[in-house]
Structure 1
């Protein structure tokens, strides 16, 4: 089993060199470009040569990346770690205040960027101009021949920033040991996929549309390079259908907004736009069970995943295609121990983060003295082993009556209403309030739907309805703010 990026590099050169590693749509050529694993490995070595030439001994030094998805991004991120430095992928969608905080916290020796953020926020060049580097800076270097394994696979390798709903983002510290300990959780379930789909070959491709500062995108790139599959990169969701049409992809990780778009095409008889896409892995948020059920009936394999940045995306996997398990995140992965502490899901094992960067107090709040990571998710596990998430511990509403209300449970009940575009449930004036954004012409229909839901709820859970004239605010990761 491959247990490091260096071993993956060697595997590229010796076992899968002639396979296509990555494809992307080249704007200049107006067509698809691709590289094989042999070239991928050579460019990783070029990047190591660049870091050594510019910064000498880079062990433990931070290298920030601020760009859209691209082949160069992949090289920069993994080349950094192979060289022994620490990769810090940043969210291009954040504002200057957030990015300047994260750069100040991590103190990178260089910032690899594609120019987009600098054009939008001139303060980047004004403050960090001396350490800004283009994404393709490595191309001018000869491949380093003397690349070896890093001394300690448990050492810090990545700092992945999370976007909380309040306060500053936290830098999640991950090692290569963390990352590769989680790999079986991503690779093993695909045996179920191949069996269900009748595939007798490993030669299929996955479209990667999530940004690379997202743990799901990072783990996908690593897992597919282990198996020798091809990754098709989408650098902007604005061009999702163009890229999907240009690059045949059977597999894709989706978030709710993407799934809704795909679902719309399927139900309108426009499956041709999907160019062979047939396996969807769903994660990062709540999904409408009806959409999942309809997609399964149309022949799609739909898997649900649960994981956090702090767990390297590891957690649970639901590959069952039975309707009764649609609302479950599946069975817990065997790479970790699990327990419920007063309903809160806790995990312990090698995939669990090292801690939060320069934040021992924040780390101590979530990792206890016995090494248990407290996820903050309220869960239950049924006798058949399937796990269900019912809400976030910090979001629980405690009423004056002493009753506890999980707002996520109520939000799930509102998902089937097609007229609701966005919704959060919160406490307001000591009542349970559903704050809803929708077409003003649909407000009466939405009120009627909420009234129908309320009839099936105990009195203390019944919701009053409030409408927002604007889309609801979201954080830098696109999650609704409460």
Structure 2
């Protein structure tokens, strides 16, 4: 594995976000840092300078050390400027996921008592009707321009046309700000990230500078990143996964990050791959699963002969190697690290990636752990494992089952959050007195220290003889069946039931709705659902077999990392 000869190990007192960017500005000043497709990237010196200017603007508007400042906007170079500007000011960033409902956005802004907010034009409507004490300062993320109080969206265009004036004024303002204490310490709060979990309860996770920078340094010990790497960012920067691994790590090492100005659909990504030829990228399972199913598996199942040949292991591996070369070409041909996290990856998709020689790696972590807990480089992956714990991060399996070795995953290290904002009760529930974080995840470790995730404790179904049944593992098998997009398994009346969302685009081509009656369509759908049940049960143990498969007519609602919000579909008392 290649190592970056320019890696720096900071002294403990310097591990702050300001230090992280400033040392890169000094080492890589003229190197490209952040950019968008088709535009000249901003270099490291400019990024550092703009962060300073943003800090000056915030100070001038009364933001002081420890104040909370929200960021609500799509990924962009200016999002990065805003994040570091907040850190340079000594304030605390509150990144808000763009997919959050307006009511949730308002709750976060009030709960965090934000003093200022960076808001994009596209999401400006989410501030309409906001009632909050103190009337936060508003800064337009698109132009980094201060907005007058109570600006309406219809007036934004006028302000955008005037864009840039604020930054020009700030150099003079900087002279007036000397003497204000904004020199951050590593144990100061850096960020409060509000999670959107599968249980429906949003929590504000408090992360310090030490938490974030220590996780950056530990991750760089398992995967090298250099100033020559090019990252393509498609996940929200307001999520810990992309924020730390997809932003802080490349900035620490002088790499360049590119953002798409539109949602990362295939029509956007394919040209981006050709233009950027990314060497590194982060994804959630749903993205790579869709790509593989559409571009690879659909070709292997298009006729009966190919389907029979595909079942032969030697033939399958040859087909996968050939498909892997084409997949690499589609991604630009220079990918050397494709990180997957946030949710379980289908076993079938992982088998393909391994046999195809695609440089994937699976990581495990949580927002509360800054986020990475376990992972490895692509050349050290093991099938169905997330890899070993990071250096300097302790992982133990609490109260393991004597037969299976499976128990709750506990984590300890400098990456563990300070707690939940304004929620000491829930903080006490997950943080032990001796510093362990209770993840709520079930897992086991092999003899070499590789970690295997089984599922969430809250999702476990207890079988008729007291056995643990992990719905996530069953869903992985179901999702590998033909015609299935996604699924959710739960208990109902003592039986296992699966909700399945089918590949309706594919089915529409097979039996067009304009040629069939509604009754005929329903009969064919029922046949496909039964075929899915037989397919899954043929691969599952007797304990985990599905009794019934019901149709899910709309895509499941998901968290930002594409985990299904189970609480919306499984009623209390259903056994999960």
1:320-343 alpha-carbon deviations (Å, 9 max, x no partner): 5478x2210011112221111130
Q: Does structure 2 conserve the Cα–Cα contact (< 8 Å) formed by 1:63 and 1:85?
A: yes
Partner of 1:116: 122
Partner of 1:301: 359
Cα distance between partner residues in 2 of 1:410 and 1:166: 20
* Superposed counterparts of 1:386-397, under 5 Å: 386-397=450-461
Partner of 1:217: 242
Determine whether 1:51 maps to 2:44.
no
Partner of 1:101: 107
* Superposed counterparts of 1:382-461, under 5 Å: 382-399=446-463, 401-438=465-502, 439=504, 441=524, 443-455=526-538, 457-461=540-544
With structure 2 as the length reference, what TM-score do the two structures score?
0.75
Cα distance between partner residues in 2 of 1:130 and 1:183: 31
Shift in CA distance, 322/418, structure 1 to aligned 2, threshold 3 Å: farther
* Superposed counterparts of 1:250-261, under 5 Å: 250-261=279-290
Partner of 2:343: 285
* Superposed counterparts of 1:70-149, under 5 Å: 70-119=76-125, 122-124=128-130, 131-135=137-141, 136-137=144-145, 139-142=167-170, 144=174
Stretch of structure 1 that moved more, 439-448 or 418-427:
439-448
1:276-310 alpha-carbon deviations (Å, 9 max, x no partner): 35231111111123333433444421111111110
Partner of 1:470: 554
Determine whether 1:329 maps to 2:386.
yes
Shift in CA distance, 162/17, structure 1 to aligned 2, threshold 3 Å: same
Q: Does structure 1 conserve the Cα–Cα contact (< 8 Å) formed by 2:16 and 2:184?
A: no
Partner of 1:245: 274
Q: 1:442 offset after TM fit, Å? A: 5.7
SS where residue 497 of structure 2 aligns?
A: strand
- Structure 2: unaligned runs, 5 residues or longer: 1-8, 146-165, 297-322, 400-406, 505-521, 567-576
The aligned length equals: 467
Query: Please, which of 137, 140, 155 is the counterpart of residue 188 of structure 2?
Result: 155
SS where residue 472 of structure 2 aligns?
A: helix
Determine whether 1:14 maps to 2:26.
yes
More strand by share: 1
Q: Does structure 2 conserve the Cα–Cα contact (< 8 Å) formed by 1:118 and 1:125?
A: no
Q: 1:314 offset after TM fit, Å? A: 1.8
Shift in CA distance, 300/459, structure 1 to aligned 2, threshold 3 Å: closer
Determine whether 1:227 maps to 2:253.
yes
- Structure 1: unaligned runs, 5 residues or longer: 26-30, 195-200
Q: Does structure 2 conserve the Cα–Cα contact (< 8 Å) formed by 1:205 and 1:231?
A: yes
Shift in CA distance, 421/349, structure 1 to aligned 2, threshold 3 Å: same
1:371-417 alpha-carbon deviations (Å, 9 max, x no partner): 11001110010112211111111111124543322111211222321
Stretch of structure 1 that moved more, 249-258 or 105-114:
249-258
Question: Following TM superposition, where does structure 1 have runs of at least 4 consecutive aligned residues deviating by more than 6 angstroms?
Answer: 125-129, 145-149
Partner of 2:75: 69
Partner of 1:28: none
Stretch of structure 1 that moved more, 367-376 or 127-136:
127-136
Give the root-mean-square deviation of aligned CA atoms: 2.6
Q: 1:463 offset after TM fit, Å? A: 1.3
Query: Please, which of 41, 48, 70 is the counterpart of residue 48 of structure 2?
Result: 41
Partner of 1:480: 564
* Superposed counterparts of 1:163-202, under 5 Å: 163-191=196-224, 202=227
Cα distance between partner residues in 1 of 2:235 and 2:67: 26
Shift in CA distance, 272/330, structure 1 to aligned 2, threshold 3 Å: closer
Cα distance between partner residues in 1 of 2:357 and 2:543: 41
Partner of 2:314: none
Q: Does structure 1 conserve the Cα–Cα contact (< 8 Å) formed by 2:286 and 2:562?
A: no
SS where residue 257 of structure 2 aligns?
A: strand
